[in-house]
Amino acid sequence: MTDTKAKQKIIIVGGGIGGLAAALALTRQGIQVLLLEQAEHIGEIGAGIQLGPNAFNALDALGAGEATRNRAVFTDHLIMMDAVDGNEVVRIETDEKFRERFGGPYGVIHRADIHLSILEAVQHDPLIEFKTSTHVADVKLKSDGVEVSDTNGNVYHADAVVGCDGVKSVIREKTIGRHHRVTGHVVYRAVVDLENMPEDLRVNAPMLWAGPRCHLVHYPLRGGQQYNLVVTFHSRDEEEWGVTDGSKEEVMSYFEGVHPRPLQMLDRPTSWRRWATADADPGLDDKEPQTDGHQNARADERQAHDRVMKSRHDRHRTGQQRRDRHERRVAAKNHRDQRIGEHQHPQRGQNLFQVVAVIQAADDQPLDNQTI
């Protein structure tokens, strides 16, 4: 850890999986973190999440690997099925050979469990201060850092801010002006208890049933006591981003013509949550952001530009003055030599040598790159 890093402080907005992981990654560099989360209690909603070998490597690096492993289910295979004829399309073994090749296991976990595993590491990290019930409303970019304010009227200062505030990110909107875009994919998610799971689908694998403009995935959670069910389809309606209660009738209407084996899964959940999904282009927006912070940043840019131009002008002027002085000195010497030559011929060689020495002395002075 260097002194400079120890003095750096970064604000992270959002205490989801992304925000917590970012906080741990920063403190591993010796950077202090202030985490601001709008929710009163930290927790995760949703169902399961799949973790490839690289995810476990990343979690190990953050100090959350062991806790996550203890809560994950390690699968035997990855299976893809044809949802219309019910046949297997491909099966990948995730055994020891797979683990050796990819440097880690393939796992599945409840979202609440992976979130908790990372949260535990955050809570033990003395470099992280975690504030809940804090809804961030604005961010201003300053010449010496950032100023973040919340809806309670509090203002926080830091060297930088990281926006991990999800799809409707305030930080993204205030800094680069880009909004989320709705994809048109709708995802239904549910958790099914083991006793409700069809016997022939109690498989220790993420099993994906691919159909026309729809697919369905299920895999075990929490030691196989529960199963995660995810159903995705391309919506025929104009969607708005959001999470609502879903209806079995809507799901069934998108799965007409699907094989009875995957179809039986749609009967099992007792309640569904419906996500109209969205994403965001990570690139910068074309339009200029209109925040005060941006104006400050632009003012800083202008001042920096003016400083560069003035410095160039000064250096140009200094260089020109130096060349003028040099020419005057050479002219004076020449004039004197001429006079000496006219009157004292024996010393002429010595005087010529002195003139060359003067010119060399002038040439030894550094010339301004900008003016040659």
Ligand X SMILES: Cc1cc2nc3c(=O)[nH]c(=O)nc-3n(C[C@H](O)[C@H](O)[C@H](O)COP(=O)(O)OP(=O)(O)OC[C@H]3O[C@@H](n4cnc5c(N)ncnc54)[C@H](O)[C@@H]3O)c2cc1C
Yes or no: say if 148 and 138 are a contact pair by the CB < 8 Å rule. yes
Q: Which of 242, 249, 189, 251 is nearest to 214 (CA)?
A: 251
Q: What is the closest distance, in whole angstroms, from the C-beta atom of residue 307 to ligand X in the complex?
A: 36
Yes or no: say if 219 and 202 are a contact pair by the CB < 8 Å rule. no
Distance CA 121, CA 305 (A): 44
Q: Which is nearer to ligand X, 135 or 259 (CB)?
A: 135
Phi–psi pair at 69, nearest 5 degrees: -60, -40
Q: Which is nearer to ligand X, 36 or 263 (CB)?
A: 36
Q: What is the closest distance, in whole angstroms, from the C-beta atom of residue 202 to ligand X in the complex?
A: 20
Q: What is the closest distance, in whole angstroms, from the C-beta atom of residue 236 to ligand X in the complex?
A: 22
Q: What is the closest distance, in whole angstroms, from the C-beta atom of residue 182 to ligand X in the complex?
A: 15
Burial of 75 (0-12, 13-18, 19+ CB in 10 A): buried
Q: Which is nearer to ligand X, 216 or 333 (CB)?
A: 216
CB-based contacts of 57, cutoff 8 Å, min separation 6: 65, 103, 104
Q: Which is nearer to ligand X, 164 or 266 (CB)?
A: 164
Interaction site with ligand X (CB under 6 A)? 13-19, 36-39, 46-47, 49-50, 111, 135-136, 164-166, 170, 189, 275
Q: What is the closest distance, in whole angstroms, from the C-beta atom of residue 44 to ligand X in the complex?
A: 7
Residue nearest to ligand X (CB): 16
The residue with tokens 């000064």 is: 314
Q: Which is nearer to ligand X, 141 or 333 (CB)?
A: 141
Q: What is the closest distance, in whole angstroms, from the C-beta atom of residue 157 to ligand X in the complex?
A: 17
- The string of DSSP codes covering 24-69 is HHHHTTT-EEEEE-SSSS----S-EEEE-HHHHHHHHHTT-HHHHH
> Which tokens is 372 given?
């040659």
Q: Which is nearer to ligand X, 39 or 61 (CB)?
A: 39
Q: Which is nearer to ligand X, 59 or 333 (CB)?
A: 59
- The string of DSSP codes covering 281-298 is --SPPSSPP--HHHHHHH
Q: What is the closest distance, in whole angstroms, from the C-beta atom of residue 19 to ligand X in the complex?
A: 5
